[in-house]
Amino acid sequence: MMHESELRRILGADLEPSEIIDAKVEEAYRMIRNASAGKGGTKSPNKLNIKKKISVGIGSVAAVFVLMVTFCVMNPVLASGIPVLGGIFSRIADIFSFGQLPKEDTVVLYQEGGDASKDEEASGEEGVRDTTVYQKTSGDITITLTEQYATNQAVYIGVNVKNAQAFPEMALFTDGTQSLSLKTVEQYSFRSDTIQSLRLIDGKFVDAQTFEGILRIDYSEINKDERKYIQAYEEAIAAGEELLLTSENYAQYVDEYEIPQTFTMKLDISSIVGDLAQPLPFPSAGQKSEEELENMSDEEWQAYMKTLPQESFDYPNKYENWWQEGNWTYDLTITQKDSASRVIEVNQTNEAGIGVRSIELSAVEMTLNTTEGEDIITVALDANGNKIESSGYSSSSALAIAGHDISRVYIYICDYDAYMNEIKGYGIPGNDLGRSFQEVLEERALFKTVVETVASDDTAAVPDRTAAGS
């Protein structure tokens, strides 16, 4: 997976026209906006800049831009007293960014001997279990949805993928996780259109034929209708113009839905994809390391890209991926059951209008809703001054709070370039640069504040710090 520094550097050069590249650019562009627009505090993507990254065609392309974390769900009974098939939530907890998901709010979807819910319409008899509700087989692949947990910010699904044949050896990430991806078409009860997505299952292979993991879907990825923007964009292109989505025109072109407490979803999976542990070199180009790509000049980059076969721009492709097509379809109902979910109103800004609107909390995650801004980045530290990291492939605004004391949260909004080039290094474990990460953030942040999450009135504390850097 590409690091932020590499991602930032390779955003830049234009390429020769390509329908395939343009299609990937537009898909990535939409996915990035889905994760960031409307949340604020995130750099608006530049279409021409994204094109260079998309065209890498090397394993991490889809991971960086499209793998948002997939979805499907339930409406059965709470997990209390019911044995979980495999107990995926518990078994994956040690490598999962969000840690152990609350057992008291977990819902069992499937267990040995049958489905955890009663499918009365399908069977015609009360109490008869239908094992096909959450377990579907297509070709050699059986996908089973085992358990579910929903917060005020996202839905988590336990997924078991069984292959009648042995999987090829798949990539192992530095955090100890492995992944499979699903190409999906999703339809939600609160919107009339469908969403096409590439969703990540974050987990591990337990044997040569079995993968277990957790899918996460952020509500920010499904609550936006961009059809007006797509139409306007196509009209602009036809007229020889370009229309980019910005913070200024966002409300004009994008409608946002309120996520209800309970909603249904139809999930159609058309293919499952994995990243090979030993990708094949591209013909006539050879496999380049991340270090080699990082050190390329723009001219070298352009020359290198022209040596790659067109197929290398596809996801999946035979050089980097294993995949199997099929048809796995689920009709699901989701109900938020997180007893710890709440929202803390902050509503603090500096003179430049940069600041924090609110914080959404659940038992496992925290979302910072910041004001709109260009070229800025938000950093959160816990009560002990430790950085609260975003979780893997999820939106950067979704922070995994497992192992953190969040009774007090320090929030800093920084200039993006200054943070990446001059500040970030202080927060890397093992770096001894003579000053603490928090000291540098206190000095360099455009905006800073402290939120006491246990305050009786659920409001932000220490408001006198909000004008820092203005």
- SS3 state of residue 372: coil
Which residues have a Cβ under 8 Å from the Cβ of 51 and sit 6 or more positions away? 13, 14, 15, 21, 22, 25
Q: Please give the pLDDT value at position 112.
A: 63
Tokens describing residue 168? 């090829």
C-alpha atoms less than 13 angstroms from C-alpha of 336 in its C-beta half-sphere: 18
Which residues have a Cβ under 8 Å from the Cβ of 45 and sit 6 or more positions away? 29, 32, 33, 36
Tokens describing residue 332? 């699901």
pTM: 0.74
Q: Please give the pLDDT value at position 283.
A: 75
Q: Please give the pLDDT value at position 391.
A: 67
CA gap 433, 97 in Å, rounded: 27
- SS3 state of residue 427: helix
- Place 246 in a pLDDT band, splitting at 50, 70 and 90: confident
- Place 286 in a pLDDT band, splitting at 50, 70 and 90: low
Q: Please give the pLDDT value at position 280.
A: 85
Which residues have a Cβ under 8 Å from the Cβ of 232 and sit 6 or more positions away? 243, 253
- Measured at the CA of 174, the angle between CA 436 and CA 367, to 5 degrees, comes to 60
Which tens digits make up the pLDDT trace of 187-245?
A: 999 999 999 999 999 999 999 999 999 999 999 889 999 889 999 999 999 999 988 88
In the predicted model, what is the mean pLDDT of residues 9-22?
36
- Place 303 in a pLDDT band, splitting at 50, 70 and 90: confident
The amino acid sitting at 450 is V
Which tens digits make up the pLDDT trace of 197-208?
A: 999 999 999 999
Locate all alpha helices (DSSP H) within 266-338, ordered by sequence: 290-294, 298-306
pLDDT at 181 over 80: yes
- Place 180 in a pLDDT band, splitting at 50, 70 and 90: very high
In the predicted model, what is the mean pLDDT of residues 313-340?
91
Q: Please give the pLDDT value at position 384.
A: 95
